[in-house]
Amino acid sequence: MGKLYKTANRRQLTGILEEAFSKNISACIFTMQEEPLQVSFGEESILHMIQFSLLDGVIFVPYSFAAAEYAKEIERFLLENCTKPVIRIGIEPNPFVQVWYHDRSEMAEITRHLIQQHGCRNLLCLTGPAENPVSLERLAGFREALTEAGISYQEENAVYGDFYIFTAQQLAQEFADGKRPLPDAVVCANDMMAVSLCDALRKYNISVPEDILVTGYDGVLESALHMPAVTTYSPSWEQLGRNAVCQLYELITGKSLVSGKSETGRLLCRESCGCHNLSALADQIDFNYPRLEENYIDSSLSTKLLSCTTLEGFVRTMYDLNFVFFDPEYYDREAYALCLCEHWNEDKHHPHQHGGYSEQMLRMHYDGSYTVFPISAMLPPDFQNSAVPTATFFTSIYFQNRCFGYSILQYQNIADSINPYYLRFCREISNALEFLRVRNMLKSLAYHDYLSQVRDTLTGLYNLNQLPYLWKDYLSDVRNRKESCFWIALHIAGLYRIAENGGTLQKDKLLVAFAEYLQNTCSYHEKCLRAGESDFLILGSEPASSQYHNLLIQNLRDHFEQYQRSLKQIALPLQAAVLSDEAIQILTEQTVTSAAAGLMTEAHNNKATYSEQLHYKDLKIIRNQIYQNPEQEWSVSLCSQELNISSSYFCKIYQKAFGVTCAYDIRRSKMEHGKYLLLHTADTLQEISRKCGYDYSHFMRTFKKFFQMTPTEYRRGK
């Protein structure tokens, strides 16, 4: 099915899913946005990932595609690749079994209304192309109504159009120029032509309904919102979808199936025929479009996605912003996932049997990690088991002929949940991924030239001689974020011992490994420099009163220690010194280099005390337990008893070892646990407060103090 945001298409889909769910049947929906085929091989690729062996049957909705070339391409694809039963929702009997509604009788009903209620005798029918079966069927209904009323039908009573705006505009001009006499009424074979005809007539000062009556067909939203509102016939698109499921079930099983519902369409009499009845407007507006548009604009979706510089940051931002199409009513029954090809960011295209998709796909998770699954499964493992029937939407993520992957949106037993902002969301993802790919490619092209000028050739970090040039922009960025500056000097003590025991190569491997981890750990605007043989400098920033720099130092020490243990080599201590915001503010481009040298000297002299070394391993165990078990009732007294030392002494060595107090870590662990519960559960704030060991008001205050936003704002993705 194409163009899911169209009223008729959504209503058909609702009927399909309602009938399927009532029989415990799940559905996969494959949809396109219809860019020209010659530049959208990436979008067409969605066909090639369909595994017909996993399906029992197919419903094909060709009229949902505005471009006939798309419908023909899909028809060809199904004939060549699908061995399962196929139902075609349309009037053409070949090449598949067809299901359609009675639009002939419904067009006749509209025409009878004009004749019987408004006394029209001179009527014109504006239908679709002359070779189109739907055009001819609706024209036949118009002709039947004339014959029943004793009105002679002539060929000039029919105008063959395009189901679009151009023929309607041309017809209005013919009326205005006198080339065609003005009839009592024009019966249009769809709402698009009716709305366009009303607009075109207004340009020529021909009033609807005062001078001429106009009616449409299909019952789309535009007909209700138009001025004047257009009289139309709303066929039962839902029933058409239900009938398609029943017909497909019979083809698959050989058993007949009767729909659980039976309903017909209805005539919606409005202003364009002179009835002035707007009672049908409310039920035409299925979504609160102003609210959705406000959410979409407020999210700054494009800006935030295009600002991402890494795939991990992009994925996290994308999942944070999917509230623009999620319905809060179905919070625990909807799921979304982005699945990328392994080669999504490569410069060349990879066409093969899956139309551009890789054999193994990457199901991206919120934290930037991914699960690998075969394209032959279509769905990643966490989407494959459900106790209730599901509707799963597959949408191609692409840019022109480049295939990045596809989006999966799944609802559990919800038939009418899709909204147009999901497709806009997918387009934003596609554009942002292409932007990220091109930006990374350009960075790569300039990388070697850049390294030769400003980077240390061994580690890839900035050279210390670049500090004066980095300083001005760095300080400006920090001030714009309204944060505090810090510098961290790091010194790997005793590095010469590695060279003595394993040679220069072993020493260089250690430095490269440390530099790589330093860059990976510093992911919050920091800049890392190599300041000497065994010295490094970090320029960073943090929110006011934050302990981020101390946590960063401890992280680096922990992982450096683990790395050395894994190599079973001499353990070298990582010594550190910190320069605070107050001291940094007074520095200039002329004094920053000497300040860095002084800080490095301080790091060389900051050796760990004996007491720290004595208890450090036990302190690390306690700290890990605090963060791994935040729901427990922790206290300084309890922790000090574990080491059999006094609380005051415990507090002193704990802060000396980690740069923060034990009480701070206890609060922080509970707040991080609260963030996890807000993001991954539907628990109320009262329940989350209790699980974190707080009463409601205390939890709200503490959370806002830590993260500068309320729990509700965090859950809503702000």
DSSP assignment of 180-237 equals: S---SEEEESSHHHHHHHHHHHHHTT--TTTT-EEE-SS--HHHHHSSSPPBEEE--H
The domain total for the chain is 4
Asked if residue 240 is part of any domain, the answer here is no
- How many secondary structure helices (H) and strands (E) does the chain include? 25, 20
For residue 266, the SS3 value is: strand
Mean pLDDT of 642-671: 84
Higher pLDDT: 173 or 693? It is 173
- Do 208 and 172 lie in a common domain? yes
Is this model's pTM higher than 0.75 or not?
Answer: no
**CATH code, domain with 644:** 1.10.10.60
> Of the candidates 557, 574, 607, which is a domain's last residue?
607
Average pLDDT over residues 257-271: 86
Q: What is the pLDDT of residue 285?
A: 46
* Mean of pLDDT values over 130-150: 92
CB crowding 122-138: b at 16 or more within 10 Å, else e = ebbbbbbeeebebbbbb
Res 349 pLDDT > 70: no
**What would the mean pLDDT of 490-518 be, rounded to a whole number?**
83
Residue range 181-210: mean pLDDT, rounded: 95
**What average pLDDT does range 127-153 have in this prediction?**
93
Percent of the chain topping pLDDT 70: 91
Within a domain: 450: no
CATH of the domain at 230: 3.40.50.2300
Other beta carbons within 10 Å of 511: 20
Residues 62 and 162 in one domain: no
Mean model confidence pLDDT for the chain: 85
Q: Quick: pLDDT tens for 275-311.
A: 875 444 444 444 455 555 566 566 688 888 998 988 9
User: What is the C-alpha separation between 605 and 444, in angstroms, rounded?
Assistant: 39
Question: What is the rounded CA–CA span in Å between residue 635 and residue 626?
Answer: 10
- Give the residue with greater pLDDT, 545 vs 716: 716
Task: Report which listed range, 210-224, 631-645, 650-664, is most confident.
Answer: 210-224
Look at residue 484 and tell me whether its pLDDT is greater than 70: yes
Structure tokens at 148: 């029943």
Lookup: tokens for 99: 């299901």
Nearest C-alpha neighbor of 207 from the set 216, 198, 218: 198
Range of the domain at 534: 455-607
Please report the pLDDT score of residue 567 as a whole number. Answer: 78
The answer, yes or no, to whether the previous bond of 420 is cis (omega within 30 of 0) is: no
Note whether 274 and 323 are same-domain residues: no
Residues 279 and 356 both lie in one domain: no
Selected residue with higher pLDDT from 448 and 145: 145
Alpha-carbon distances of 380 from 45, 362, 366, 429, rounded to whole Å: 18, 9, 15, 19
Mean pLDDT calculated for residue range 248-272 = 89
Identify the band that residue 544 occupies on the pLDDT scale cut at 50, 70 and 90: confident
DSSP SS3 for 389 = coil
Mean pLDDT of 48-69: 89
CA distance 20 to 389: 8
What integer is the mean pLDDT of 605-619? Answer: 68
Q: Is the pLDDT of residue 459 over 50?
A: yes
Residue 115 pLDDT > 60: yes
What CATH code is carried by the domain that includes residue 473? Answer: 3.30.70.270
Closest CA to 633 of 681, 667, 677: 667
Cβ atoms of residues 637 and 647 within 8 Å: yes
602 and 459 fall within a common domain:
yes
3-state secondary structure of 484: strand
Kindly state the tokens that stand for 139: 């024209």
pLDDT at 371: 93
123 and 157 in contact (C-beta within 8 Å)? Answer: yes
Same domain, 627 and 668: yes
Which H helix or E strand runs over 540?
strand 535-542
Using 50, 70 and 90 to split pLDDT, how confident is the model at 407?
A: very high
Residues 272, 142 share a domain: yes
pLDDT at 233: 92
Which letter does DSSP use for residue 692 in this model? Answer: T
Look at residues 607, 629, 657 and tell me which one is the last residue of a structural domain: 607
Burial of 153 (0-12, 13-18, 19+ CB in 10 A): middle
pLDDT at position 694 over 90:
no
Whether residue 188 is found in the same domain as residue 144: yes
Within 13 Å and on the Cβ side, how many CA atoms surround 97? 17
H-run or E-run covering 373:
strand 370-374
Q: Residue 32's pLDDT band (boundaries 50, 70, 90)?
A: confident
CA 363 to CA 569: how far, in whole Å? 38
Average pLDDT over residues 468-473: 82
CA dihedral (323, 324, 330, 335) in degrees, to 10, reads: -60
The torsion of the CA quartet 235, 134, 64, 168, rounded to 10 degrees, works out to: -90
- pLDDT, residue 542, reads 84
Determine the angle formed by the axes of helices 662-680 and 647-658, rounding to 10 degrees: 60
Residue 241 lies in a domain: no
d(CA 644, CA 433): 55
Same domain for 435 and 465, yes or no, is no
Compute the average pLDDT of residues 217-230: 89
DSSP output for 59-124: EE-GGG-SSHHHHHHHHHHHHHH--S-EEEESS--SSSEEE---HHHHHHHHHHHHHHHH---SEE
Q: Does residue 39 surpass a pLDDT of 60? A: no
Long-range contact list for 75-79, CB < 8 A, 24+ apart? 77/47
Same domain, yes or no, for 632 and 592? no
Specify the pLDDT at position 352.
45
